[in-house]
Amino acid sequence: MEIIIIILSTVILSTSLFIFWVAKGGFNKKYLYTDNIVLFIVASVINVGIYNLIKMPLWVITPFISGFIVLIFFIALFFYRFFRNPKRQIPGDKNDIVSPADGRIIYIKELEKDQIPVSVKKKRIASIKEITKTDILEQPCYLIGIAMTLFDVHYNRAPIDGKVIMVKHTPGSSIGLNTPESTLVNERNTTVIQREDGVMVGVVQIAARWVNRCIVMAKEGESLKRGEIFGKIRWGSQADLIIPRNCEILVREGEQVYAGSTIIAKLLED
């Protein structure tokens, strides 16, 4: 009976932790049926083993020891998920624009000519007007926001083949996004890539809570292949993609996308 109680408490603790991050952290629901199952099975085995080896009251093993073991393995899963860099098969052809980041599509906005775009994260607005230092907005375009959770791969990949014509770093703080001025002062990078035929796309990396390291490894003048890694952001964050309006959008809001392997849009032939 004691072992059943230990297992049930471990399942409840693990599942509650994942439900919290799905609801509050934007985690993909699939983790409830993948990582969560792995976590509570491993943690249950360890908790039962501890109980059999070290005689202690049930109220100590549950919830204190069980909770500690679950938390330790959750953190281990986080570090595995966050720092991994899986190989990606790059689908489609040169006219297919791939996602620059792993994450969830939070908005797809149409921007008119000369309109200064803004990035909305958790319904708060952050200016990304530095993008207007290029002529990327001389024609109508789309602004697509991708929210990256702690469990997403945080390497960013080039949406198209082309040359890096601008890398603009805007230094800032990493105050919480629940502070109204946070999205005006947090760190960001804007990278603009141009194809040989003149088509340009922009990627804006925006730092989130406790984040002050948006990194672009690519240099201005460097050529990138579609799907090639050009940067990364530490911890949770957001990547905004700016593409021309003469595209067919192939994703929708709420969809999970993957850097380099999800086709966001297709450029239409003139």
Residues 39 and 139 in one domain: no
Residues 121 and 198 in one domain: yes
In a domain, 91, yes or no: no
The tens digit of pLDDT for each residue in 128-144 reads 565 555 667 677 889 89
pLDDT, mean over the chain = 82
**Is 62 in contact with 44 (CB distance < 8 Å)?**
no
Extract the tokens encoding 91. Answer: 């689908």
Section 11-15 average pLDDT: 90
In a domain, 217, yes or no: yes
b/e per residue, 219-251, with b = 16+ CB within 10 A? eeeeebebbebbbbbbbbbbbbbbbbeebebeb
pTM score, two decimals?
0.79
Domain end residue (candidates: 55, 83, 111): 83
Residues 235 and 143 in one domain: yes
Task: Categorize the per-residue pLDDT at 267 as very low, low, confident or very high, splitting at 50, 70 and 90.
Answer: very high
Least confident of 17-26, 33-42, 206-215: 206-215
Residues 215 and 115 in one domain: yes
Q: What is the CATH number of the domain that holds 171?
A: 2.70.70
The tens digit of pLDDT for each residue in 22-56 reads 776 667 777 788 888 889 899 988 988 888 888 77
State the Cα–Cα distance between residues 251 and 262, nearest whole angstrom.
Answer: 9
In a domain, 88, yes or no: no
Least confident of 17-21, 45-49, 97-101, 229-233: 17-21
In a domain, 251, yes or no: yes
Residues 195 and 221 in one domain: yes
Print the domain residue range for 247. Answer: 96-267
In a domain, 65, yes or no: yes
pLDDT at 178: 44
Residues 35 and 154 in one domain: no
In a domain, 90, yes or no: no
Q: Which residue has the higher pLDDT, 56 or 90?
A: 90
**Is 36 in contact with 14 (CB distance < 8 Å)?**
yes
Task: Categorize the per-residue pLDDT at 194 as very low, low, confident or very high, splitting at 50, 70 and 90.
Answer: very high
**Is 133 in contact with 167 (CB distance < 8 Å)?**
no
In a domain, 72, yes or no: yes
Residues 198 and 118 in one domain: yes
Residues 133 and 111 in one domain: yes
For the chain, the first-to-last Cα distance in angstroms comes to 71
Residues 63 and 103 in one domain: no
In a domain, 17, yes or no: yes
Catalytic residues: 237
Residues 196 and 78 in one domain: no
**pLDDT at 77 exceeding the cut of 70:** yes
Half-sphere exposure of 240 (CA within 13 A, CB side): 24
**Is 104 in contact with 26 (CB distance < 8 Å)?**
yes
Residues 129 and 250 in one domain: yes
The tens digit of pLDDT for each residue in 236-250 reads 678 889 999 999 999
Task: Specify the number of domains making up the chain.
Answer: 2
Extract the tokens encoding 215. Answer: 């990194």
The tens digit of pLDDT for each residue in 92-102 reads 999 999 999 99
